[in-house]
Amino acid sequence: MKVSYYPGCSLHSTGLEYGKSTEEVCQILEIELQELSDWNCCGAGSAHCTDETLAIELATRNLSTAEEAGLDLVIPCAACFQRFKVAEKHIIEKKEPAIDTSYQGKVPVKHLLDFLSEEELIEAIKAKIERPLKGLKAVCYYGCLITRPPDITDAKKYDNPQTMDDLLALLGAETYSWSYKTDCCGGSLMLSRPDIVTELSGKLIQKAEEVGADCLVTACPLCQANLDTKQGMMSKNWGRKVRTPIFYFTELLGLALGSPKADSWLKKHIIDPRELLKSKGLL
């Protein structure tokens, strides 16, 4: 199977382990990722609140390249995915302002989590599980933009998504119900209002602890970064040490599929998750 791939800026930098584990998982599942040629940043978070035309143009440039390639387009970053879907609907529904482009809205745009949750790939994953994630207690954290707003993302279960829970259960992990699956981590306020991000991300970690999870699993580089990097500040604010591992779902998928490279991603976290995995006999 071959698909077009838009890694986005984060997967080459702060979300490095998301990119590496995505590539590894796809290789194991025999999915060829064809990176969009000369792709540009979609401007997620910043362009849409500055100039609407600019925001649509930045995403459409990539969509146009993908349409020429003629393959389904897979995007691991939730924020990029949502901006691409906004541009897709903008062009298909011929909304104002009009954009000068050859793109016609014909290329299927999929978030990586939804793509890997397609029936055919779930079967492929099932057949290749080598190391079930037995004993791992996790909550799945979807964040905002994989599902919201559903008119744009086409998500069916937007308040209580289930795809990541199903995938992790298939891998042998124990997942918990909690009501914070799609609550906000603070997103791009990371630099401008770190106090707000620490508050929101802190609440997520607290609620995950309350239901008995020992880690959170994400599908967005911004969510992972906020949850992973703000635990020093949380420790300071709460007067106790906070060290909750924050995984990308692809890291756990790669681990379960028996990838020998897992250590090289896991060591890149701010909160090192390897201790937890070792304690469960998973690493």
Partner 1 sequence: MQSESIITPAHDWLVEVNSSSGESVSSCYQCKTCSSGCPVSFAMDILPHQIIHMIRMGLKDEVLKSASIWICASCETCTTRCPNDIDVAKIIDTMRINARKSRVKLGEKRAAIFHNSVLSSIKASGRLYELGMIGMFMMRTSGDLVSNIKSGALLEDIKVGMKLFRHGKLKLIPRVIKRRRDMKKYFKKLKRGEGA
Dihedral over Cα of 46, 90, 105, 153: its sign = positive
Between 123 and 159, name the residue whose CB sits nearer to partner 1: 159
For binding to partner 1 (CB under 8 A), which residues are involved? 9-10, 12-16, 38-41, 43, 45-54, 57-58, 61, 95-96, 144-145, 148-150, 158, 183-184, 186-189, 191-196, 199-200, 229, 232-233, 236, 267-268, 270
The smaller minimum CB distance to partner 1, of residues 66 and 257, is found at: 66
Beta carbon of residue 3, minimum distance to partner 1 (angstroms, whole number): 21
Q: How many helices (H) and strands (E) does the chain have?
A: 13, 8
* Min dist. Cβ of residue 277 to partner 1 (A): 18
Q: How far is CA 228 from the centre of its chain?
A: 14
Opening angle at CA 258, ends 18 and 229, nearest 5 = 30
> C-alpha 65: how far from its chain's center?
22
Spatial contact of 229 and 145, defined as CB atoms under 8 Å apart: no
Beta bridge partners of 174: 137
Tokens, residue 267: 């060591």
CB of 174 to partner 1, least distance (A): 27
Would you say 203 or 280 has its CB closer to partner 1?
203
Q: Which two tokens stand for residue 91?
A: 């062009």
- Least distance between partner 1 and beta carbon 46 (Å): 4
CB closer to partner 1 out of 74 and 144: 144
Work out how close the CB of 91 gets to partner 1 at its nearest, in angstroms, rounded to a whole number: 15
What distance in Å separates the CA atoms of residue 98 and residue 148, rounded to the nearest whole number? 24
Q: Pick between residue 136 and residue 146 the one whose CB is nearest to partner 1.
A: 146
